[in-house]
Amino acid sequence: MKEKSTLLLILAVGALLRLPGLWQFDTWQDEIYSIFEARDLIHSPFGPGGMELRPLYFLALHPLAKAMPHAIVLLRLPSFIFGLLGIAATWNLARRNFGRNAALVASGVLAVLPLHINASQIIRYWSLIYLLGALFAGALLRSLGSDTKRDHLLTLVWLLLGTLTHPTFAIMAVGMTVAAHLVTSTGQFGLRLPSPAAWRLTWIPAVVILLGYYATLWLFFTTERLVGEAAGAPQRLLPSLAFNLSPAVVTAGALGILWLLMIREPAPRRFGLMTALGMLTSLVTLLIGGSLRFLPVSVLYVSAGFPLLLCCVGGLCTRFGATAEGERRAAIALLLILAAALAPSTVSELMDGSRFDYRPALAHIEANDPRGTVVMWPKVQATWAAPDLESIELRTTTPVSVFDSLSTARDRFWVIASQRRMGIIGDNGGAKQHWLARHCDGVLTTRAPRFDYEQYVTMLWDCRR
């Protein structure tokens, strides 16, 4: 099969896996934040705050969100397009550096990767970050070889666009850039300084523009508004990375990095070091920042490095194929093995979108108690889908006594509990679930079948005086 036909087939598979999610799944909490932030920009009443730090996506979405804030399919469409472009960019990055067979593996794994499928279906910027990560890495590598004005300017453009989409892009970019300059033209490990053209066209303009922009923000906005609440558990970052990419893909990526670092040639060794140091820089920064409660923590903040990791996975087939035919067979075998390892999570993603479905519970409350009170996490789901209901946030810090107070003050109230594998969100000790089981009637449970370790269960409780 010709290269173009192979790429089109992979894109077709990627599109078929991503399309149904554009209209099938409930609007996720962060999607609601995105709609408000895109519509109202710095005046958004909801969201974590700090859209000024990451304005590009919201500014691009602003006209549509302003005109049609409830057109969910249309608002999700840019992420879908960025997702398909990300598959094509991954093919191009792997093809340019390791050949057609590596491109088949890298883009094929991405097409069925649940994390990227999800990112391509939601009103959020993560599929764009992935795409810009691939474009930045490709431009950076080309600029090191060509030293042309075009490649240096492209490196600058992708760096600025990525960082202004989400600042964590810069963390990954710093790691990649440092690593790219730690391999000499002979393939040895050693310092290679940027060329005068690179300083003039890429790095000095990038530092001036980004530092100037963010310094200006800090002059006009408080740190609390810009950074918001540092949510997330740092200790879960590495397990989350392994779960979302799958142990098989992470292992194959690590082996690919090691293989590339062992090759005594500048291009593969530089690529392997860029992947390793880029991922390591992001992970260590997030772990330290999260532990100090300064940075929020999420596996998605490493998205800009995923294109390189998948290319390293594809690069493995060059290790096991002594001939062109052997390399092709190794690539097909590797792709099939990784697709099979991802299959339970991929099918699960297609079943429930890796999110809670609050629509049946909220519809039940609206039908039976149109002006009622609902306690749930996240509260913004009720504010968005059922604005006539009185909604109260169910947080980890919410004491059980709140339920006692509500049962005294009201004849009836409702609780929507969101349960994942570790238990009900906001109920670390189990006291809230115990209170609900004793005093309320469970009237509705919503879940879709899953075939992996995760679960998303929505439970509706009817509590009366």
Q: Residues 6 or more apart from 127 whose CB is under 8 A from it?
A: 79, 80, 82, 83, 86, 116, 119, 120
Q: How far is CA 218 from CA 40, 166, 221, in A?
A: 20, 16, 5
The alpha carbon of 50 is separated from its chain's Cα centroid by a whole number of angstroms, namely: 18
- Cross-strand partners of 413: 463
Chunk the chain into consecutive blocks of 10 residues (it has 465) and report each block's average pLDDT, rounded to whole numbers.
Answer: 91 98 94 94 75 93 96 98 98 96 97 98 97 98 96 98 96 97 92 96 98 91 70 81 94 96 94 97 92 85 97 90 84 96 96 95 97 94 95 91 94 95 87 95 95 94 94
205-228 pLDDT per residue, tens: 999 999 999 999 888 877 777 776
Contact between residue 79 and residue 119 where contact means Cβ atoms under 8 Å apart: yes
Q: What integer pLDDT is reported at residue 228 of this predicted model?
A: 65
Q: Which amino acid is at 271?
A: F
Q: Which amino acid is at 274?
A: M
Give CATH 3.40.190 domain extents, the chain. Answer: 359-464
Burial zone of 222 (CB within 10 Å; 0-12 exposed, 13-18 middle, 19+ buried): exposed
Q: How far is CA 342 from CA 15, 181, 393, in A?
A: 17, 34, 35
What's the CA angle centered on 250, arms 277 and 91, to 5 degrees? 80
What's the CA angle centered on 451, arms 427 and 18, to 5 degrees? 100
Contact between residue 373 and residue 390 where contact means Cβ atoms under 8 Å apart: yes
* Number of neighbouring beta carbons within 10 Å of residue 196: 9
- Helix/strand/coil (H, E, C) string of the chain? CCHHHHHHHHHHHHHHHHCCHHHHCCCCHHHHHHHHHHHHHHHCCCCCCCHHHCHHHHHHHHHHHHHCCCCHHHHHHHHHHHHHHHHHHHHHHHHHHHCHHHHHHHHHHHHHCHHHHHHCCCCCCHHHHHHHHHHHHHHHHHHHHHCCHHHHHHHHHHHHHHHHHCCHHHHHHHHHHHHHCCECCCCCECCCCCCHHHHHHHHHHHHHHHHHHHHHHHHHCCHHHHHCCCCCCHHHHHHHHHHHHCHHHHHHHHHHHHHHHHCCCHHHHHHHHHHHHHHHHHHHHHHHHHHCCCCCCCHHHHHHHHHHHHHHHHHCHHHHCCCHHHHHHHHHHHHHHHHHHHHHHHHHHHHHCCCCCCHHHHHHHHHHCCCCEEEECCHHHHHHHCCCCEEEECCCCCCCHHHHHHHHHCCEEEEEEEEECCEECCCCCCHHHHHHHHHEEEEEEECCCCCCCCCCEEEEEEEEC
By C-alpha distance, which of 274, 335, 334 is closest to 305? 274
Q: What integer pLDDT is reported at residue 429 of this predicted model?
A: 84
Q: Which amino acid is at 136?
A: F
Q: What integer pLDDT is reported at residue 230 of this predicted model?
A: 57
Q: CA-to-CA distance for 296 and 300, rounded, in angstroms? A: 11
> The CATH number of 359-464 is which of 3.40.190, 3.10.450, 1.25.60, 3.40.50?
3.40.190
Q: How many CA atoms lie within 13 A of 4 on its CB side?
A: 0
Q: What integer pLDDT is reported at residue 414 of this predicted model?
A: 97
